[in-house]
Amino acid sequence: MESVIKANKIKIEKINENDYNRIFVMSDIHGQYDLFLKMLDRIDLKREDLLVIIGDICDRGKKSYEIYMKCIKMIKLGYNLKFILGNHEDMLLEDLENDYPLRYETEYSIYRHSKYFENKTMTEWHQENLFDEIRWLVKWLKNCPLIIYGNKNIFVHAGLDLNIALTKQEKETVLWTRDEFWIMENVELEEYRDKNIYFGHTPNINGRISKKTDRIKGIDCGAFFTHFLGCIEVKSQEEIYVYEDEFIEFDEVSSKVFLELWNEEVAEFIDSEKYKIKSGKGKIIILEKLDKNEKKFLTNFWKKYEKLFGKNIANYIKKKKL
């Protein structure tokens, strides 16, 4: 028995875990189609199983469209596949639903929104009228929930506020948060106790699933950055990994993730003339003194990700010697 709740402008879907033999969950595939196929082959998905993808199929990699098409085809063939919207799908929907999206106006937005499919820019998509060909994707994505839950498990893209009821979660939180919400576990509401929570969004730069607590796991293995894709079968708690033949050095992964987070959370709040990105090194060089607000954003960013990057974070932000 499954049901859909629309609360606080957030679509939430309830499932019965007992309806499925196995339940697999993965996240943040980001256009890595070959890794996705490898994972499907590895888990040997059956029609009695359920696969939950918790957001961010698109962007970064070159084959986002192929993954969406594969998912649709699997559903039509009778496989149980459920998809939760990620922040990249949310941005994609906004762009596809507008003939000339407002966020396309700035250079930063162009950078952020230009690689959904096959490395074409948004301008090229508009010029070639390719948006008309994927209106079906808009319809499908708009019907996808932001949270899926059952009696034992909750699946969400970015995270939750454990002090707020599931039906009252904010869209911004479930799509975008990078807060360490698991540290609130001891003060959480009753409805979250004894439930496993699976989330993605924040990449684990070691390419492995991260056990935040006994019940809360971050499953974004940074597929685009690390070339690793992780998956959990939630009933057995088995972790499954696939990887590309090409390996990538940890420092290179770390620098790529750092720049992604910088562009997402800091870049638009600091005058672009006051810093430069050292090409190929993933380093931010501060060229001029920052004002009070800019310093605040930089300090908060540093504190927020110091645990993720460890001592490496000090290598990524440097002040130019004047």
| Radius of gyration of the CA atoms of the chain, in A | 20
Question: With a threshold of 0.85, does the pTM exceed it?
Answer: no
Give the other-Cβ count within 10 Å of 21's Cβ: 12
pLDDT digits (tens, 9 = 90+) for 86-140: 998 888 787 766 654 444 333 333 334 444 445 555 455 555 555 555 677 788 8
Position 152 scores a pLDDT of 96
The pLDDT value recorded for residue 126 is 53
Euclidean distance between CA atoms 223 and 243, whole angstroms: 8
The residue type of 25 is V
**Residue written as token pair 């969406």:** 68
Distances (CA, A) of 306 to 98, 207, 258: 38, 18, 11
Model pLDDT, residue 120: 53
How far, CA to CA in Å, does 251 sit from each of 35, 158, 206, 311?
A: 22, 24, 10, 12
Share of the chain above pLDDT 90, in %: 38
Task: For the beta carbon of residue 226, count every other beta carbon within 10 angstroms.
Answer: 26
Pairwise CA distance, residues 306 & 32, whole Å: 28
> In this predicted structure, what is the pLDDT of residue 103?
40
SS3 content of the chain, % helix, strand, coil (to 5): 40, 20, 40
Question: Both tokens of residue 281?
Answer: 């090194």
Contact between 116 and 92 (Cβ < 8 Å):
yes
**Which of 53-57, 125-129, 188-192, 303-307 bottoms out in mean pLDDT, i.e. has the lowest?**
125-129
Residue 154 is predicted with a pLDDT of 97
| Model confidence pLDDT, tens digit, residues 19-28 | 999 999 999 9
Region 225-243: mean pLDDT is 92
Task: Give the full edge-to-edge strand order of the sheet including 275-278.
Answer: 275-278, 283-286, 317-319
Residue whose entry in the numeric block shows the structure tokens 């929907």? 93
What percent of the chain stands above pLDDT 70?
77
State the pLDDT at residue 298: 84
- 302 token code pair: 């540093």
**151: CB partners within 8 A, 6+ apart:** 16, 17
Report residue 14: phi and psi, to 5°. Answer: -100, 135
Q: What mean pLDDT, rounded, does the chain reach?
A: 80
**To 5 degrees, how large is the angle CA 273–CA 252–CA 67?**
95
How far, in Å, CA of 189 to CA of 117, rounded?
A: 40
DSSP H helices, the chain, are: 33-43, 64-76, 87-96, 107-112, 122-127, 135-142, 171-176, 223-226, 250-265, 292-309, 313-316
As a whole number of angstroms, the distance between CA 120 and CA 292 comes to: 38
Q: Using the predicted structure, report yes or no on whether residue 191 has a pLDDT greater than 80.
A: yes
Average the pLDDT over each of 70-84, 223-237, 273-287 and give the range with the smallest value.
Answer: 273-287
Residue with tokens 């469209």: 65
pLDDT class of 75 with cuts at 50, 70, 90: very high
Rounded Cα distance, 55 and 313, in Å: 27
Q: Is the pLDDT of residue 61 over 80?
A: no
